[in-house]
Structure 1
Amino acid sequence: MSQFFDLGDETLWNPSNGAARLFLGQVAVFEAELGMPSGVGPMENDECQIEPAVLEVFANALLARHRQTSHAIIWALSVGFTATLLALAERARVEVRWSPDDGDPDHGLRAKVRELDRRMVR
């Protein structure tokens, strides 16, 4: 079994039930942390619609929070979710405001997003 994260009729991601459940649990955690909706969900009948305008605001707030995190444990706990959410956001064609290429503090995160994008089944 799997679940579908869709933008209209387009499937952006089709993870296993376990991966979808874990991701959606983390979505709820970070919605609470950031105090804003994510534009992801809810999951209904194995389908979850993505709201791009809301996702764009959430993704960029999450990226900003990730950049500002100097706490090693918080960074470690959030980097995987952040990369996964940003890969989904890019698939939804929302504008992710990465840092400029010169002295790019997002370089490692961008690489993780690219890696996860290649592994996220559609």
Structure 2
Amino acid sequence: MSQYYVVGDETVWNPAQGVSQLFLRQVAAFEDIVAQPSGIGPMESDEARIAPAELRAFADALLLWRARSRHPVLAALSDGFLATIIALADRTGVADPTWDSRLVAAGSELSRSMSR
């Protein structure tokens, strides 16, 4: 079974339920960390709506938060999530080419493997 992340009428991501559940738990944790909403709505009837402008602001806040630390464990715990957020930002048309190039590259690579 899969779940859908939608902008307007377009599905931008269609992960398996387990992947989606883990992702949404991470979203909630990182929303708390940066004290900002993600723009990713609740999962209702296997669909979560994304507000692109809020997602962009959330990605900006996450990248700023991440840039303030050089802690290797923090990097290991957060960079995969950041790549996923960047991939979603790319798919929703709000990615910023000035974001951290290493994370943008990881997000672009991940975006190619994400199902729609």
Which bin holds the TM-score, normalised by the shorter protein?
Answer: over 0.9
Aligned residues: 116
Residue 80 of structure 2 corresponds to residue 111 of structure 1: no
Please say if residues 60 and 97 of structure 1, whose CA atoms lie closer than 8 Å, have aligned partners that are also in contact: no
- Aligned residue for 1:17? 17
List aligned pairs for 1:1-122, cutoff 5 A.
1-96=1-96, 98-99=98-99, 106-122=100-116
Q: Distance in 2 between matches of 1:19 and 1:109?
A: 20
What are structure 1's unaligned runs of at least 5 residues?
A: 100-105
Deviation at 1:98, TM superposition (A): 2.1
SS of residue paired to 1:66: helix
Name the aligned partner's letter for residue 55 of structure 2: L
Over the residues paired in the alignment, what is the CA RMSD in angstroms? 1.2
Cα distance change, pair 64–97 in 1 and its aligned pair in 2 (3 A): farther
Percent identity between the aligned chains?
Answer: 50
Greater C-alpha Rg: 1
Q: Is the 8 A contact 1:59 1:96 kept in 2?
A: no
- Indicate conservation of the 8 Å contact 1:62/1:82, yes or no: yes
In structure 2, stretches of 5+ residues that fail to align are none
TM-score of the aligned structures, taking structure 2 as reference length: 0.94
